Amino acid sequence: MKNSGPTRHRDGEPRHPGDVVPAQATPEGRTRHEVARLLLEDGPIAAGVVADRLGISPTAVRRHLDALLADGEAETRDAPRRGPRGRGRPAKLFLLTETGRARFGHAYDDLAVSAIRFLAEHAGEEAVRAFAESRVAALVEPHRAAVAEADGPAHRAEALAAALTREGYAASARQVGASATGAGAQLCQHHCPVAHVAAEFPQLCEAETEAFARLLGTHVQRLATIARGDAACTTHVPAENPPGLQAKAPDGGERE
């Protein structure tokens, strides 16, 4: 059978499954990579906003978005309507697909999924849970001191976002006011290196959420995950613990 070799993006660069694709060698490729990065970090996002952020023409942005759509790296959603329904089609927002996220690398492959399946079958669900807890501990422990130094859960969320970004999660944190979930901060991970694995083994997400709660010293609520098809993994970090829950120190112990 003839080997067809690696597939290629429209910018001419080869793509192997799971490859980390760096900023491209050509100006066209670099621009497309920056368009994709904005979709990763801020999607769903409008084409006009992409043009403004990158300082390029709407026509150029549309060309890159059309190429990402054609390659299966991006998809669209209808923008929420505000005010009375007007004529015409609703505005489109763009975000990356799982194929598009592969531009920025993945820390998993079929072998990882197979290995955890084997662990579940031969050692049971508790072994999978223990593995998930061990993995997330290795992720957050090097950053515990830096996060603990921040004053209060919201500022610790910002420190945690910076730490997760260094680990490849393209994370951010923003303050939120009174809402259905209450005041505090929202921690967003715009990239998940193990999303495919977590889609089959949610223990990875559960262990991560629990580790964040211990690290931040407060109860947290996971609102969305990439593994479930959301645009980002979003965790609400309340400014104060709900009534009846005792505040925890950032090391996971109870405050005096």
Provide the residue ranges of all domains of the chain, joining segments of one domain with +. Answer: 27-79+92-102, 107-237
- Quickly state the pLDDT bin for 255 (edges 50, 70, 90): very low
**pLDDT tens digits, one per residue of 111-162:** 888 999 999 999 999 999 999 999 999 999 999 999 999 988 889 999 999 9
Residue 86 has pLDDT above 90, yes or no: no
Q: Which residue has the higher pLDDT, 196 or 95?
A: 95
Kindly report the CATH number that applies to the domain delimited by 107-237.
3.90.1520.10
pLDDT of residue 161: 95
**pLDDT tens digits, one per residue of 1-46:** 434 443 344 444 434 333 444 444 578 888 999 999 999 888 899 9
**pLDDT tens digits, one per residue of 210-231:** 999 999 999 999 999 999 989 8
Q: Give the C-alpha distances (Å, rounded to integers) separating 47 from 35, 62, 161.
A: 10, 7, 26
pLDDT of residue 53: 93
pLDDT of residue 9: 42
pLDDT of residue 88: 60
Q: Over pLDDT 70: what percentage of the chain?
A: 77
Residue 256 has pLDDT above 50, yes or no: no
pTM: 0.63
Residue 67 has pLDDT above 90, yes or no: yes
Q: Give the C-alpha distances (Å, rounded to integers) separating 66 from 49, 61, 62, 73, 138.
A: 16, 8, 6, 10, 40
Residue 183 has pLDDT above 80, yes or no: no
Q: Give the C-alpha distances (Å, rounded to integers) separating 164 from 75, 118, 139, 250, 252.
A: 26, 29, 8, 17, 19
Average pLDDT, the chain: 81
CB burial class (10 A; 0-12, 13-18, 19+) of residue 112?
middle
User: Which CATH architecture fits 27-79+92-102?
Assistant: Orthogonal Bundle (1.10)
- Quickly state the pLDDT bin for 164 (edges 50, 70, 90): very high
- Quickly state the pLDDT bin for 177 (edges 50, 70, 90): confident
pLDDT of residue 32: 92
